[in-house]
């Protein structure tokens, strides 16, 4: 019987939320260092969700977003997505490059490499915190940056899981700077076997 | 305003409302299978996620090519479509992510397209048009009255199938 089919117990949920809070705090440090401004990641919301509801994040399946995507593997498998609505992505890029020019909204080589680096930093801070806490060995792939409809990105990301789950454990947080100009989401998807393993490890600790 | 029916991931929808459009939005490596019988005025769409049914009792009726396409056909026939008159158009199966040294799962879009084609062939359905593969997401609109399919994508011209 899968852990997911009956939903998470409140204790499991609390444990997972605590770990993911530590991990997102650490990812926020990475973003703050890059932009040299305080950047916050809200306390992650954790849920077992259906595919349909998840692709309606950030303004519906068709809304255009820019996303950094990567796979992690090791003792558990999954993938991570950093998703920014277009405008927010360019704001973030401009802040990191310290440029005021907001007229350029082309996803050029420089923009792709900046967002790739954001994906790299955020995911490695996040995953190393998760590793430290659980003792699991987790290896991220290098990130890739995609600009497309959010529904196409999220559904395809989920299909990249080793085994496509019936339902998905989704961790979602919002990214904001002090003026809350940058809207973004951090999502982590994992399959049922990996979730079972993760729960076993944290419940013992 | 024509009625618009949304087809979510792994769902299917059949209509014989001549004013209706059947739509699936933000299709990535999934495949939209569009069937229509112009004579009978019946059209339907399935949003296929994966090639093979894992037999684990899914809520989503059209999640897998091997079980979802036959279910779509059955629903079409129930509404009065004649299998011999049905034409098929397929869209999607994109490769959304290119990762250096990536794994075979990256080909999921391609495998979905192959699986759908194989099922259509085994059901003796006539595949008349396709816009598959490539590396971007699509929104698919099927017009019930005409069987015309519009494929929209960000940064690409709309394609009519």
Mutation pick from B12, B23, B101, B137 vs chain A, by most beta carbons of A within 10 Å, is B137
pLDDT reported for residue A30: 83
Higher-scoring residue by pLDDT: B73, A20: B73
Higher-scoring residue by pLDDT: B4, A37: B4
Q: Which of B56, B96, B100 sits opposite A148 (nearest CB)?
A: B96
Question: How many separate helices (H) and strands (E) can be counted in chain B?
Answer: 2, 10
Residue B155: left if φ>0, alpha if ψ -120 to 50, beta else—which one? left
Share the mean pLDDT of chain B. Answer: 90
Mutation pick from B65, B97, B102 vs chain A, by most beta carbons of A within 10 Å, is B97
Residue of A nearest to B139 (CA): A62
Which domains does chain A possess?
A: 10-204 (3.40.1550.10)
Using a CB–CB cutoff of 8 Å, tell me whether A150 touches chain B: yes
User: Do A156 and B9 make contact, defined as CB atoms within 8 angstroms?
Assistant: no
Helix (H, G, I), strand (E, B) or coil at A59: coil
- Sheet strands side by side (includes B31-37): B12-15, B42-48, B31-37, B87-92, B126-132
Instruction: Tell me the mean pLDDT in the region A175-194.
Output: 77
Q: Per-residue confidence at A1, pLDDT binned at 50, 70, 90? A: very low
- B positions 61-90 inside 8 Å of A (CB): none
- Each residue of A21-49: pLDDT tens digit? 888 888 888 888 887 888 888 877 777 77
Q: How far is A127 from chain B (nearest CA, A)?
A: 19
Residue of A nearest to B152 (CA): A62
Higher-scoring residue by pLDDT: A165, A147: A147
> Annotated active-site positions of B, please?
30
pLDDT reported for residue B123: 96
What ipTM goes with this model? Answer: 0.84
Using a CB–CB cutoff of 8 Å, tell me whether A160 touches chain B: yes
Residue of B nearest to A68 (CA): B97
pLDDT at position B94 over 60: yes
Q: How many structural domains comprise chain B?
A: 1
- Each residue of A120-162: pLDDT tens digit? 888 888 888 888 888 888 888 888 899 999 899 988 888 877 6
Using a CB–CB cutoff of 8 Å, tell me whether A94 touches chain B: no
CATH code: domain of residue B61: 3.30.1330.200
pLDDT at position A3 over 70: no
pLDDT reported for residue A168: 67
Q: Per-residue confidence at A118, pLDDT binned at 50, 70, 90? A: confident
Instruction: Tell me the mean pLDDT in the region B128-157.
Output: 95
pLDDT reported for residue B80: 96
User: Do B154 and A153 make contact, defined as CB atoms within 8 angstroms?
Assistant: no
pLDDT reported for residue A125: 84
Cβ–Cβ < 8 Å for A69, A78: no
**What is the extent of the structural domain holding B33?**
4-160
Instruction: Tell me the mean pLDDT in the region B8-26.
Output: 93
Query: Cα dist. A11→A43, A139, A205 in Å?
Result: 17, 27, 13
pLDDT reported for residue A2: 42
- Each residue of B39-70: pLDDT tens digit? 999 999 999 988 887 666 555 578 889 999 99
Residue of B nearest to A64 (CA): B154
User: Do A142 and B109 make contact, defined as CB atoms within 8 angstroms?
Assistant: no
Per the structure block, which two tokens stand in for A41? 């990641």
Using a CB–CB cutoff of 8 Å, tell me whether B154 touches chain A: yes
- Each residue of A57-114: pLDDT tens digit? 555 788 889 999 998 888 888 888 888 888 888 888 887 887 766 555 677 888 888 8
pLDDT reported for residue B111: 92
Share the mean pLDDT of chain A. Answer: 79
| A20 Cβ neighbours under 8 A, 6+ residues apart | A44, A46, A130, A171, A188
pLDDT reported for residue B138: 96
């Amino acid at each position: 019987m899968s852990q997911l089919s009956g939903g998470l117990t409140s204790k499991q949920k609390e444990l997972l939320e605590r770990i993911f809070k530590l991990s997102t705090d650490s990812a926020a440090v990475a973003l703050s260092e890059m932009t040299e401004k305080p950047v916050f990641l809200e306390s992650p919301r954790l849920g077992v969700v259906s595919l349909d509801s998840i692709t309606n994040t950030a303004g519906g399946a068709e809304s255009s977003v820019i996303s950094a995507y990567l796979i992690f593997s090791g003792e558990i498998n999954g993938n991570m997505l950093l998703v920014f609505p277009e405008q927010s992505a360019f704001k973030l890029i401009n802040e990191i490059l310290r440029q005021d020019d907001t007229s350029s909204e082309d996803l050029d080589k420089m923009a792709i490499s900046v967002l790739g680096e954001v994906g790299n930093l955020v995911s490695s801070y996040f995953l190393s915190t998760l590793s430290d806490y659980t003792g699991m060995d987790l290896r991220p792939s290098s990130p890739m940056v995609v600009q497309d409809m959010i529904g196409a990105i999220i559904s395809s990301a989920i299909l990249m899981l080793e085994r496509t789950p019936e339902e998905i454990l989704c961790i979602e947080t919002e990214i904001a700077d002090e003026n809350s100009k940058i809207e973004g989401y951090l999502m982590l998807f994992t399959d049922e076997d990996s979730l079972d393993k993760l729960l076993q490890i944290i419940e013992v600790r | 305003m024509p009625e618009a029916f949304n087809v979510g991931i792994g769902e299917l929808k059949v209509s014989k409302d001549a004013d209706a459009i059947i739509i699936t939005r933000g299709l990535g490596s999934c495949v939209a299978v569009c069937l229509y019988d112009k004579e009978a005025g019946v059209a339907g769409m399935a949003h296929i996620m994966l090639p093979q049914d894992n037999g684990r009792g899914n809520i989503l009726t059209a999640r897998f090519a091997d079980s979802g396409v036959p279910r779509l056909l059955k629903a079409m026939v129930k509404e009065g479509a004649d299998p011999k008159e049905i034409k098929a158009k397929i869209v999607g199966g994109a490769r959304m992510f290119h990762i250096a040294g990536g794994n075979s799962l990256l080909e999921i879009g391609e495998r979905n397209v192959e699986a759908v084609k194989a099922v259509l062939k085994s059901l003796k359905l006539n595949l008349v048009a396709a816009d598959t593969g490539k590396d971007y997401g699509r929104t698919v609109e099927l017009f019930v009255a005409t069987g015309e399919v519009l494929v929209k994508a960000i940064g690409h011209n709309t394609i009519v199938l």
